[in-house]
Chain A
């Protein structure tokens, strides 16, 4: 017995020494595994500014993949281009026990264009790879180096939301250890902006006498998706760095605030791009001759630009920051947002109207430039501002359809940077309020005894809702009809007439006019005649409940829906169900749905409002109850019986 025991002990000691492999998956603290598909075991990102045109990124990372959902979180993705070169890549894959099983290098990576189909051209490329390991959990450890030839922008450090370039993979990543070093000469001044950073930055000097800033995080749980969260989650950590003096692919500059940055952008990137041929100058002068109001002049020119140009993205030249010359847009009739804004601005200048080239972060979530932190990596779109006295007017220059002075939900209600000859200015784009954003529907339907629905319906869209039918308007008639049938859940719908109208005035309005019929809308079941009270504006999807919510509730944009449907019901019937009468009033929204019957006229009225703002996270459950009550009321069935 004894010798056996000894043998077993030896064996265990042997095993034990293996178990001390640092990437053994069992060493991951248990509290980090909930909601995690992968865990960063140890990561260190170092940015070293060797020179203003020589910046080295050194990335080292070990990440354990817990299950197949984590494969994509661990995938190594390296973007590069002509100016950002990959210097070295190598790595090792480990099994569950932390034993190395596979090595890899740059030659294993797939190399692809990173330019979307929608772009005409761009020079961004990507190399990506993940070793194929079939047993979970496994760990990959890798390290690579990039060299960038500019010091104007630095990639932010975002330790628990994975790769900053892939926001789609924001969830499911826990972090054991992660650190970030920024190294530069003592005279290279920086400003930084931290978000949700738990520990203070440590500043030191290294053996070469360089400044070192170090941030570190430990034991972060995985982020989870929570509906109605702020754009940056409450537990999403980031550090952004901006230089004072910099070199941008041969152009030098310095800034400490938006004023100086905007000035540099205007002077170095925009100013020299503002020429068009004399014939075009002459033409716009003729076009606006006789108009004295500068706003009307601008409108005329804007509409000329819209019919002459369209948006095509071309990302060449210096990092996508400098617009193409106005003369090129004039010739080709296309350009990206920078080029089209610069062109419009140039045409306006030709008739003596000043306007501002404005940098904005575009998209439906309202994201402002950070008022207290100027940096070049904020904003991804350009719009034009016409600074008229008491009547500042904004223009989106990439759409041929959008009305003059209308921004829609793409760039509304946020801080943007106007780059002017006097310097940068932060301006706020207009807000479309809960009452501005209105979808108002009026319908008159007749329901026959055989269950056929027949009638017409008019819907008016205002505010950001103005653009709700934009894609349908561009479709062929057959596609429009398909669209309508999807939008309105009325079975057996036959579209008899469908007309869209748009009023592109200062408060633009879209009107949808439909005549329709639908067989079997009402049905005699079990002696009762049933039909849905609301088949035109149903809110049936209720966001899921979330246990242990972390984020406050954020409603990005407020809006109002109003519906009034008058049904003429078949003669000789009376109501068998209770009248619908729902009223809900909450800080974040309100809802009423009522029904009245007068002879054979059944009138249904519905109003729904949701109020934008930031609410305490505890409000979330209340909000789900609110949506559920609405879903119930919206699917109410009318029951009629014969007199």
Chain B
């Protein structure tokens, strides 16, 4: 093995010369004269070259640090991309004098002046501004001087970070195309990282080599593995609607720290390991296991809530409602409770982990076995299954089993019914952790649905008005969304006033709500209404469109084809049932034809049904999507289903006077 390695490194030593940063400031006339980028002529700017390197060093202050150097050269064709000349670099403030810092910011703009002469303007280091955004982040910002159409900007900087576990990832793709992008990492043998590639684009250069004794600390020495990832002719990333985090699709390389070795003792500490190691680690962490163990604290707090209850379900719902109402979410995501549950309970405020770990512990304290589920929200991106690691997650919820059924719970929102998750959680898989069992994956595609049924029963009266009842019945996630809508108003009356204001031809005479505050039941709204449909009935023909509300005028899907899946988070079901009683003298002239359109594999359907009798007809339709995610191959069917809906909504009924 050793021999092979040696040969390999000798061989690669020759290559090494080419594998380095491109020379700073050598911008030639070709770049300045370039009028457009041949491979994407609509691009307003293109990265000519981009180079980055990360290495681990022992800094002057004796801390080991990851040093990330970034160097880029960008051609700006026109004004639309002048903002590429304003650069913002976020750095983490950290704590205990351990913080990230930026050194060596250099920038130059190359351009041709009014007389056609080549000029360059250097970035003034005094014009690099530092703003402390909040406790956690500081932003360094600078604007390149003399940016103008046709210029080439070039800049480089170096970030020194003590966060060895947060090794810089590299995005090959951005919103402008790149001609060449390369990332090199040098990792001493003391550290082991797993590298993984995301996205559909292929590397054009992928070299691994060994650097001899590249890291020394006293007498300890280590060889480095030197990896080079290169990509040429990278197209700009174009995002699509109804997609999850673009991070899932942008081509990038990411690193996860696996283990490191003490230079002096040689002892190895596993960092990311196998899940069983992580399970153990979590159990002992103050911010996780430490909090899940605080059952006694919670027992005290929930005793008055569940006193006298025997049924587990009733207890669980009571505890859930208690946490929902007693700790307000401060809008921060987290999977660990840094300040502990007690502080959250006492101050009535906390982040996601404070709230949901309290919930897990409270349910356990109530005698209902409950686990914590770490997950990655939709905007945080997909899970990397190759390597176990907490870096995958940014959120935590509770999972409990009652009567053989699993319930996933998030108490950050007061309006969520028991067992319904907010949209942000419906992403990929979650990892279930508890104090006593090995962790495991569960699908976050939970079977949660949204459902709305509209029922109208209307009678056409002699003055041309349609009178009757309109009810909307919302289940699952729809009930949650509808309650949110209603609670935006101070009172129910204000909601109805607003609703009536929006439905121009509709007068709401009476209204009632069912289960507005019983979150675990479907929400019902019933309105007695009067629609000014016709000015009078003195016509031989009355044209009537049975799609009274929510008419869909355009197809939400406009692209001919898609590269990325349509991800709605959950299946949905919408039903519309309209019953109309006609006056004696009228009959329906052209009853609509029944229609049923189904997507392959029971993916979804659109149905229209019409049943008419003498003075009465029932018109109904169903729009159903049975999947949460539709792949690009299913996209044409999805689009076609919407086309069918839109075409059928053009359908108008004619009420004709009997002769």
Contacts and interface: CB of A to CB of B under 8 A. Distances in A.
A446 interface: no
Interface in A334-372: 334
B131 A121 contact: yes
Nearest to B139: A113
Given A134-B327, A334-B143, A491 B121 contact: no
Contact of A35 (B79, B82, B490, B652): B490
Nearest to A476: B42
Contact of A628 (B88, B505, B590): B505
Interface string A572-592: 000001000000000000000
The 6 closest A-B pairs by CB, nearest first: A544-B501, A132-B349, A474-B80, A121-B129, A477-B42, A489-B554
Interface residues of B, number: 70
B100 to A, nearest CB: 17
Contacts of A400: 79, 82
B424 interface: no
Nearest to B415: A68
Interface of B: 40, 42-44, 79-80, 82, 85-86, 88, 109, 114, 121, 124, 127, 129, 131-135, 141-143, 145-149, 236, 238, 325-328, 330, 347-349, 414, 487-490, 494, 497-498, 500-502, 504-505, 543, 553-555, 558-560, 590, 592-593, 642-643, 646-648, 650-652
A121 B42 contact: no
Given A120-B143, A624-B504, A478 B593 contact: no
A191 interface: no
Contacts of B647: 520, 523, 525, 530
A479 B44 contact: no
Interface string A409-420: 000000000000
A545 B504 contact: yes
A33 B554 CA distance: 41
18 contacts: A35-B490, A69-B487, A69-B490, A112-B133, A113-B132, A120-B141, A120-B142, A120-B143, A134-B327, A134-B348, A314-B129, A331-B145, A332-B145, A333-B146, A491-B646, A526-B592, A526-B651, A546-B501
A639 B651 CA distance: 10
A476 B44 contact: yes
A120 B86 contact: yes
Nearest to A629: B504
Nearest to B111: A333
Interface stretch (A210-218, A250-258, A303-311): A303-311
A540 B553 contact: yes
B82 A332 contact: no
A67 interface: yes
Interface string A197-221: 0000000000000000000000000
B504 A332 contact: no
A491 B148 contact: no
A547 B133 CA distance: 43
B495 to A, nearest CB: 12
Contacts of A489: 553-554
A332 B328 contact: no
Given A113-B133, A492-B555, A333 B147 contact: yes
A113 B643 contact: no
A17 B204 CA distance: 80
Contacts of B501: 544-547
Contacts of A67: 487, 490
Nearest to A479: B238
Contacts of A314: 129
Interface string A607-643: 0000000000000000010001000000101010000
A110 interface: yes
A35 B146 contact: no
A639 B146 contact: no
Given A332-B143, A476-B236, A134 B135 contact: no
Interface residues of A, number: 73
Contacts of A308: 146, 148
Contacts of A120: 86, 129, 141-143
A421 to B, nearest CB: 30
Contacts of B148: 307-308, 310, 333
Contacts of A276: none
Contacts of A544: 498, 501-502
A492 B643 contact: yes
Nearest to B648: A525
A521 B646 CA distance: 10
A577 B141 CA distance: 63
A112 B88 CA distance: 17
Contacts of B560: 494
Nearest to A37: B490
Contacts of B330: 132
A591 to B, nearest CB: 16
Contacts of B494: 34-35
Interface string A307-322: 1101010100000000
A310 B146 CA distance: 9
A486 interface: yes
B502 to A, nearest CB: 5
Contacts of A110: 134-135
Given A112-B133, A134-B326, A332-B143, A637 B114 contact: no
Contacts of A407: none
A283 interface: yes
A52 interface: no
A55 B614 CA distance: 82
Nearest to A310: B82
A201 to B, nearest CB: 33
A78 interface: no
Given A310-B79, A312-B86, A474-B80, A547 B488 contact: no
A401 B82 CA distance: 12
Interface in A398-445: 400-401
Contact of B500 (A121, A482, A545): A545
Nearest to B241: A482
User: Which of A36, A331, A334, A489 gathers the greatest number of chain B CB atoms within 10 Å?
Assistant: A334
A334 B497 CA distance: 50
Contact of A115 (B131, B327, B328): B131
A310 B151 CA distance: 13
A475 interface: yes
A466 B528 CA distance: 47
Contacts of B149: 307
A553 to B, nearest CB: 15
A304 B115 CA distance: 12
B560 to A, nearest CB: 7
A523 B146 contact: no
A542 B504 contact: yes
A493 interface: yes
Contacts of A117: 88
Contacts of A531: 650
Interface string A516-536: 000010010111101110000
B628 to A, nearest CB: 24
B37 to A, nearest CB: 11
Interface string A244-277: 0000000000000000000000000000000000
Contacts of A37: 490
Interface in A98-116: 110-113, 115
Given A304-B114, A545-B504, A577-B543, 14 more contacts: A132-B327, A134-B328, A283-B114, A331-B146, A332-B145, A333-B148, A490-B554, A491-B642, A491-B643, A520-B647, A525-B650, A525-B651, A530-B652, A532-B650
B134 A113 contact: yes
A67 B492 CA distance: 13
B500 A526 contact: no
A237 interface: no
Contacts of B347: 132
A323 interface: no
A187 B149 CA distance: 56
Interface string A286-312: 010000000000000000100110101
A133 interface: yes
